[in-house]
Amino acid sequence: MYFMEKPTTFRLSGGMLKDIKEMSIKESLDSSSAVRKLLAKAIAEWKKDYAIEQYQKGVFSFGQLAGFSGISIWEVPALLKEKNVSFNYDKEELEADIKAIKWLKKRQ
């Protein structure tokens, strides 16, 4: 899918502008590219934080956390560990998984 970039105006503090200029120089980027890079990183981090909050509240499942965050389900345990969040995995889910594993083993 292709998205056309659209000009946008923001008000930034002098300190932020200074930091963007410094980043632009150090990474050999124009200011617009530097801002896009910073926003992409911040949005990705926000998505992970938001998804974890929803997961902790029971609103998001494990898979929904992965999907919203833009990561694979295999990366979720490491993310939860990094953020010091425990799994929402109760006894019923464990029993269902054990039952499914046994069923799969019988089919082999």
Please name the residues in contact with 24: beta carbons below 8 A apart, sequence gap of 6 or more.
30, 31, 33, 34
AA letter at 37: K
According to DSSP H, which parts of 1-108 are helical?
A: 14-26, 31-57, 62-69, 76-82, 91-107
Per-residue pLDDT reduced to its tens digit, 43-94 = 999 999 999 999 999 899 888 999 999 999 899 999 999 999 988 777 777 7
Place of tokens 């902790």: 56
Give the integer Cα–Cα distance in Å for 103 and 105.
5
pLDDT: which is higher, 99 or 68:
68
Give the integer Cα–Cα distance in Å for 21 and 59.
40
Give the integer Cα–Cα distance in Å for 102 and 79.
29
Query: What pLDDT was estimated at residue 2?
Result: 54
Per-residue pLDDT reduced to its tens digit, 15-31 = 999 999 999 999 999 99
Give the integer Cα–Cα distance in Å for 41 and 101.
38
Residue spans of the domains in the chain: they are 14-107
Give the integer Cα–Cα distance in Å for 55 and 63.
10
| Entry pTM | 0.75
